Structures are given as C-alpha cells and as structure tokens.
Amino acid sequence: MKVLVPVKRVVDFNVKVRVKADKSGVELQNVKMSMNPFDEIAVEEAVRLKEAGKVSEIIIISIGPQQAQETIRTGLAMGGDRGILVKTDQITEPLAVAKILQKIVADEKPDLVIMGKQAIDDDCNQTGQMLATLLGWPQGTFASEVKLSGSSVVVTREIDGGLETLKLTIPAIITTDLRLNEPRYASLPNIMKAKQKPIDMKTPEDYGVDISPRLKSLKVEEPTKRETGIKVESVEELVSKLKKEGAI
C-alpha cells in the first residue's frame, strides 16, 4: 500500500508573526520556517502505518520554493521513503495545490493521501476537500483516529457535537486533526539517512497546472490590541463598572 503525504513549508508556529510595513502580507525575511504542524501529524500517521506493516511506501510532496526541499527532508527523516518537490516561488493557493496533487495521484496511484486539515499560514482548510472532489474519492477530514483494515479505512472525526466515525473505501483522502498522534522527533542517524533518499524535482508546468493566484489580498493588519483585564471583588462591583463604562 502506497501513501502520499503533502507537506507545506510555513512560518514556524512559535514565531510571532509580524505584518509587513506596507500591509501587503506578513514578514517572511529571516523568519524560521518549518513543516506545517498538521502535516507532521500526517507524516507520523503514515510512518506508524508503515511500522505496523500496513504500508509499503510513503511519498512526501511539497509545492513551494527550493527551501521546501528541507521540509521534505524532515518528512524523510521521520520515515518517508522518497520525495517530490514541485518548485515554485509563487504563493500556493489550495485549488492549485489540489490540481497538482491530482496529477501526482494519477502518476503514483496511491491508496491513501494523508494530509493536514489546514495550513497554519493561511488557515484555508480547503486543499484536502478539493482534492477529494477532483478525484471523486471519499474523504475523512479532521481525523483523530485512523484504522486500516483490508480495502477500507475507519476514520474517527472531531466534529462540533462530538465524534463521528466513517468507514471509507480505499483509495481515500484523510486530513489530520491535532489529537491523532504526537509526531516523533527525527533521530540524528535518520536525519543523515534522509540525505540519501531521492527527491524528484518538478515544476507546476510539468503537470500542466496554471497556479497563478485567483485571490487578491487587499491588506493585512494586526488584530486590534485587547486591553488587559481587571479583577473585581463582587458581582455588584462588576455590574457598577459595566454600567459606568456604558456596557449595560
């Protein structure tokens, strides 16, 4: 069984994001970039399935700049077998990514695509759903548990009202939620080994996909600063303060 794991290179989740002076976007110069956290969870899940003897090959894919090769190497160090970098310096929107992944799926014929539920840079939460639609494959989004058995996969999903369990027929798309697993740190020997693993270099043109942006950002702004709160001693004090401030 073959699994594809698409991974996006994003601003590291520990970085305090700064808006560019001209408000055209966020500052990416000299900022630490890492694999999208939900994608680490996707790689971890694929590696666990391989360790359980249910998966034979894991292919790590990224669509992004040359440096996204490092993101792929991280996935290979965690246990991926080979990589595909689709190189572009443009911003990658979900539909363009889904169209490229659709072409890679046609070439590679995987049984599963396991990907993040959302990328933490643009928080779109769209690519997995779009890919499932383009392929006409079943989708189990926001997975908190994945069980593979024969030609089906049982996915427990985190939804507003609780948990939903779906049985999908393979091939299928799974998107990962936070509680699915805790990704491993790659060991030094595995980081060294990953340097020898092959990464195919491609471009969007190789797949005949036009990735020019369909969305235009008008302006990016910092959220308004929240005032620090105060503690009150009693309900009466709270009510009188709210009245004074005209809140009630």
With respect to ligand AMP, which residue has the nearer C-beta, 88 or 156?
A: 88
Residue 57 CB burial class (10 angstroms; 0-12, 13-18, ≥19): middle
Closest residue to ligand AMP: CB criterion? 116
What one-letter code names the amino acid at 122?
A: D
Q: Provide, rounded to whole angstroms, the least separation between the CB of residue 6 and ligand AMP.
A: 3
With respect to ligand AMP, which residue has the nearer C-beta, 55 or 63?
A: 63
> Strands (DSSP E) along 44-189, which ranges?
57-64, 82-87, 112-116, 139-149, 152-159, 162-169, 172-176
Residue 155 CB burial class (10 angstroms; 0-12, 13-18, ≥19): buried
Q: In the complex, which residues of this chain contact ligand AMP (CB under 6 A)?
A: 6-8, 36, 38-39, 61-64, 92, 94, 97, 115-116, 118-119, 122, 124-128
With respect to ligand AMP, which residue has the nearer C-beta, 125 or 152?
A: 125
With respect to ligand AMP, which residue has the nearer C-beta, 62 or 74?
A: 62
Q: Provide, rounded to whole angstroms, the least separation between the CB of residue 98 and ligand AMP.
A: 8
Structure-block tokens of residue 84: 């595909």
Q: Provide, rounded to whole angstroms, the least separation between the CB of residue 226 and ligand AMP.
A: 26
The DSSP result for 53-82, as a single string, is: TS-SEEEEEEEE-TTHHHHHHHHHHHT--E
With respect to ligand AMP, which residue has the nearer C-beta, 46 or 63?
A: 63
Q: Provide, rounded to whole angstroms, the least separation between the CB of residue 52 and ligand AMP.
A: 22
